[in-house]
Structure 1
């Protein structure tokens, strides 16, 4: 099978609206959390989130693009545009059927749905729906709009696997390229979930943190004081390219995508398997796919959402797989800074892994000041401050409602 490399990246996150700012914020341990401004959250159990800062879609997109798209698609277009520019690709010089888009979004146009249905009910159920209601709502519109904007006429679709969504998209893009079905695929994920309906639904599940008075320290993966996840928003984009194609055009190669895998817990609608069975197996399958051993992994970006049960089941999975081979392995949870971007989480955490490899730095897990006493003593979790470390192989974990486990593995590029 063909090798697959990363030649472009783009990020739109609560801690930075481009790759460099995002990465600088991670290694400096900055939190993107604050009180919700998208609506008045006073009536909600959770009143905080990690929103984008200083983002103005009109600086990147034309009026018609904004009018016809939900924020999740706007975020996708901006992040994908950054990644494509970063790659230096000239699509006009390529066969358009050799290029494609595989994009992910867990919720799609939640804001569009909420606004249109609210207007319908407030107008005494008189149907005055926008002709853009359905196109703005459907989750595949982000991949469609990216392909339209850049003339990418090959493989094009959207993945949905809850919080594993963008890792699923990355894995699918990886497979299509190594099978020889495409030369270049723009992949990643976007989410715009900070709406009354979305926040209200997660509040009803008691899934989110209620530490409303201290937003910047509310998301605390692996800490004894964690009480639920912090919602985030944004997008992450990667340009995946067939190795020989990238070499032929003298592209900058950031890392190699070495392996990926998915499993299902087949256990519970929303809870992860308490012993991490499916997660451990997915990690093992991903390493086998990459032709790597457990002792090769230097850094693991944990899914770790700051929920009491989820964090520990992931650590059990890591312990189950790595056993006593953990001296070399360092773990961190960047959601402590970005919040949980749901379907976009895997994409920005993949970028964090790539940057960790490139810069030999493990980003920290901020707010981890009182580690849960149940954490296995042999695990090296990087707390509070970033750590310098040579990283040849990095793994990114994602787990989603429905029992989806999606793992991707990156390695330092060597020609």
Structure 2
């Protein structure tokens, strides 16, 4: 039996460029960085990040629910609600036992960890919240989305560092292809713009130190890049078998055509210098999608704005896709949201296919002369995209490539 086509029937997005799909997409197309100094990071060697526009989660979730959730779970639940409305699905009208949830998260509930840790240190154990453990579990975002939507099928958490959100989409595809589920709510969430996490990444040498000009700090593929900018975000994709989506009269935004997942097994934080794992993941995604490299019109690159990662990815893209498709990295606008970024960029790739628009790479003023790619800069490019790839790579050597095509 041939594998069923998997449709992306709905999207939900909360990003530093905007809350909601339309606002986030417009901000990404505008191509202006969202990085800015952050009061909670004042006094640190890196005192800036990409934060969501101000909003009160309690306005959406209610005060009681918002109070018992870490910010990462709040964002996941809100994005899931957006995505279900976009898909035209009503949780009360479905068989919840046939609905799954898969949510990726790379770091987890850092706001809660740090807040409660300070309480213990400053005021003693009686001031630590009794909700601490339910708030910080890696499976909490998935469980809370299931609770909010009545999804009673598999509820899973994926943890592959900065590829976690993309891995969630791979797992969701498998649940649908095996017919264990009819609908899967899949994506990623991350909200760790906190002093300890920022300090740890700075100590690792991963972050840009351009504190005098945060808006110019995230510059993927640029010769002057010096590290990434941490961001927060959540993205949810509603995935169904295409036959079911069309059967209920809903037009898919795109089709998830193929997936490729590999591990470098090379170094805890550094990619293989020849990009072997990345190449294997790209070839696997293309084969799974029954596409040739020449079919790809656009690649939403992982493009972190770090010296080595951008170089290795660029070399790999030239090797696997020598015809030179359009390439851009949306991290120039949004920063790097770690475990959420794979889902965010998958959603943006879907929107590129749907709207025939390729977002620009912010701050790409002087491309690295060693990087030979067809980079989209300055303004969005109007181009029909029949098929595209979304690349996600993470610490631990995790590589995930998703292939999308027109419905």
Q: Is the 8 A contact 2:201 2:207 kept in 1?
A: yes
- 1:276 paired with 2:286, answer no
What per-residue deviation string (whole Å, max 9, x for no partner) do you get for residues 147-186 of structure 1?
A: 1111100011110110000000001001110111111000
- Distance in 1, matches of 2:295 and 2:16, equals 32
- Distance in 2, matches of 1:108 and 1:73, equals 9
What per-residue deviation string (whole Å, max 9, x for no partner) do you get for residues 166-210 of structure 1?
A: 000001001110111111000111100101110111011111001
Q: Is the 8 A contact 2:41 2:194 kept in 1?
A: no
Aligned equivalent of 1:407: 401
| TM-score between both structures, scaled by the size of structure 1 | 0.96
SS at structure 2 position matched to 1:60: helix
Q: Is the 8 A contact 2:99 2:181 kept in 1?
A: yes
SS at structure 1 position matched to 2:201: helix
Q: CA deviation at 1:129?
A: 2.4
Runs of 4+ in 1 over 6 A off after TM superposition: none
Aligned equivalent of 1:9: 11
Q: Is the 8 A contact 1:202 1:208 kept in 2?
A: yes
- 1:355 paired with 2:357, answer no
Deviates more, 1:211-220 or 1:291-300: 211-220
Deviates more, 1:87-96 or 1:284-293: 87-96
- Distance in 2, matches of 1:222 and 1:47, equals 23
- 1:333 paired with 2:333, answer no
RMSD of aligned alpha carbons: 1.1
SS at structure 1 position matched to 2:342: helix
What per-residue deviation string (whole Å, max 9, x for no partner) do you get for residues 315-340 of structure 1?
A: 11112212x322xx100000000000
SS at structure 2 position matched to 1:231: coil
Q: 1:387 aligns with which of 377, 381, 387?
A: 381
What per-residue deviation string (whole Å, max 9, x for no partner) do you get for residues 340-379 of structure 1?
A: 0100001111111011111111110111111111112xx2
Unaligned stretches of 5+ residues in structure 2: none
Aligned equivalent of 1:212: 211
Q: 1:366 aligns with which of 362, 365, 368?
A: 362
- Distance in 1, matches of 2:266 and 2:296, equals 28
- 1:104 paired with 2:95, answer no
- Distance in 2, matches of 1:232 and 1:332, equals 18
- Distance in 2, matches of 1:372 and 1:50, equals 24
What per-residue deviation string (whole Å, max 9, x for no partner) do you get for residues 120-170 of structure 1?
A: 1123x5454211101111121111011111110001111011000000000
Q: Is the 8 A contact 2:16 2:50 kept in 1?
A: yes
- Distance in 2, matches of 1:116 and 1:93, equals 39
SS at structure 2 position matched to 1:198: helix
- Distance in 2, matches of 1:286 and 1:276, equals 15
- 1:29 paired with 2:31, answer yes
- Distance in 2, matches of 1:46 and 1:305, equals 17
Q: Is the 8 A contact 1:51 1:232 kept in 2?
A: yes
- Distance in 2, matches of 1:84 and 1:267, equals 39
Aligned equivalent of 1:321: 320
Aligned equivalent of 1:239: 238
Q: Is the 8 A contact 2:223 2:369 kept in 1?
A: yes
Q: Is the 8 A contact 1:2 1:179 kept in 2?
A: no
SS at structure 1 position matched to 2:189: strand
Q: Is the 8 A contact 1:2 1:180 kept in 2?
A: no
- Distance in 1, matches of 2:297 and 2:41, equals 43
Q: Is the 8 A contact 1:280 1:321 kept in 2?
A: yes
- Distance in 1, matches of 2:242 and 2:379, equals 35
Matched residues, number = 405
| TM-score between both structures, scaled by the size of structure 2 | 0.98
Q: Is the 8 A contact 2:104 2:164 kept in 1?
A: yes
Q: CA deviation at 1:383?
A: 1.4
SS at structure 2 position matched to 1:163: helix
